[in-house]
Amino acid sequence: MKSLGKRATGLRLERMRASPRYLATEAGEGFRNVHPIQPGLRDRSERPSLGDFICSEGRRTPAGTLPSVNPLDAWLKPTDTGLRATWLGHSTVMIEIDGLRVLTDPVWGKRASPSQLAGPKRFQPVPLALKALPKLDAVVISHDHYDHLDMGTVKELVKLQEVPFITSLGVGAHLEAWGIPAERIVELDWWEHWQAPNSELRIHAAPSQHFSGRSLTDRNATLWSSIVIETPKHRVFFSGDTGLTSEYAAIRERFGPFDLVMLEVGAFHPSWGDIHLGPENALKAYQLLGGGAFLPVHWGTFSLALHDWDAPAETLLELGPKQGAQLLMPRLGEAVEPAKGEPATPWWREADAPARKSTRPAEPQDPAKMPKAMPWPLD
C-alpha cells in the first residue's frame, strides 16, 4: 500500500544513523526519546479489546458540525502585528509571520489512516479547499503519523505549489516515494534548522517525546520533532505530538520567549502521558516553555481516544485562566493575532446544542473515571 510510505536507505539512512537519537541494539534500530517510555504502555495484558476501543460509549464526536470561518478574506489583508495564526483543524495551522506563510502538518484527508475506506474518520471538514490556499513559503511536517502526514494532501500540495517541505529525519523517504522532488525536501535532526532563501525566516527542529511509524514494522524508523518558527521579530513554537518532557525548558532557553505556543491537547489518556500531553500536561508544558499566547491544537477533528470530543477544550477553558495562560481558542478558520489577546469563548458548544437537554456547559472529563489502561494510541 503506497500510503505506508518507504523506509530510508543509502545516504539518508547513513545520516539518520549518525544522529545522537538513533540507536542500534540486538533488538533492532531506530530513534529513541530522551526519556524512556513507561513499560506499562507496552503491556498487552492491560489493553482492552479493539471492540472496547471502537464501540465505547461517550460523546466522542459532536452532534453537529462545528462553527467555522472561511479564512480567505482575512488572509487578503495584511496583519496588524506581523504575526497571525489560523487553525484549520487538528494540527494544521497557517502561520503568517512577518510577510511569510508556514503551514503545519497539513491533513485534508477524510481519514487518519493508510486507507480512506477505514480508520478514524474526520468529523469536521477543513474550512477551505486545499487548492484555495495562498502561496506558501514552507510546509512543516513534525512526524509521520497519519493524522500529521497525509499522502493525498502532500501529493496535491506538490502539484499546486512550489514549496519546500521541512520535516524530521527519515520522513523524506515517504515524501520522495510520493513524488516530492528531493530538492524540495529538508530533513532536520533536533537542534538543526533551515533558513528560507532570501529571508530571515528560520525553522528549527527541537525535541519532543513521542514515537513514529506508519505500519506494524517501522516503529521509530523516522524521527519526531517539535518545531520552532522564527524571524528577528517573532517566535512560534509548535509541539507536533509529544508527552510532557523536561526538554521544553531547554527549548525555552534556546529560543524563548515565544509570541505563540501551539500545543497538542486532544487524543489523551492518563496512561499515554509519556507520548501525549492532554490539556492538563499541556498547561505544564506551557509553563516550561515560558508562556506566550497558547493556541491548543490536535483536537476537534478526529476521534483518536475515548474521552469526550470537547473535553480538551472544556478543561483548558476551566483551568487555563486559573494558571495564567493566555488562551487563544478561535473557531476553525478564524485568523487571530496573538498580540491582540482575544478572549477565549466556548464557541464549540454550538455543535452539541441540538443534543443537549439543558444549557449547562459540558463538565471537564475526570481522568480518574477513564479506563485504567488503553491500547497504544493511533497517533
- pLDDT per residue of the chain (379 residues) written in tens, 0 to 9: 899 999 999 999 999 999 999 998 877 899 999 987 765 444 343 443 455 555 566 788 999 999 999 999 999 999 999 999 999 999 999 999 999 999 999 999 999 999 888 889 999 999 999 999 999 999 999 999 999 999 999 999 999 999 999 999 999 999 999 999 999 999 999 999 999 999 999 999 999 999 999 999 999 999 999 999 999 999 999 999 999 999 999 999 999 999 999 999 998 887 787 899 999 999 999 999 999 999 999 999 999 998 999 999 999 999 999 999 999 999 999 999 999 988 999 999 998 876 554 444 455 555 555 555 545 566 7
Amino acid at 366: D
Q: How many angstroms separate the first and last alpha carbons of the chain?
A: 19
Considering the segment(s) 2-338 as one domain, its CATH architecture is 4-Layer Sandwich (3.60)
Note the pLDDT of residue 377: 66
Amino acid at 266: G
**Domain chopping of the chain, boundaries:** 2-338
Q: Which three three-digit cell numbers place residue 237?
A: 513554537
Note the pLDDT of residue 358: 43
Give the chain's count of helices (H) and strands (E): 8, 16
Buried b (16+ CB within 10 A) or exposed e, 268-294: bbebbbbbbbbbbbbbebbebbbbbbb
- Strands of the sheet with 226-230, listed across from one edge: 193-195, 202-206, 226-230, 235-238, 260-264, 293-297, 326-327
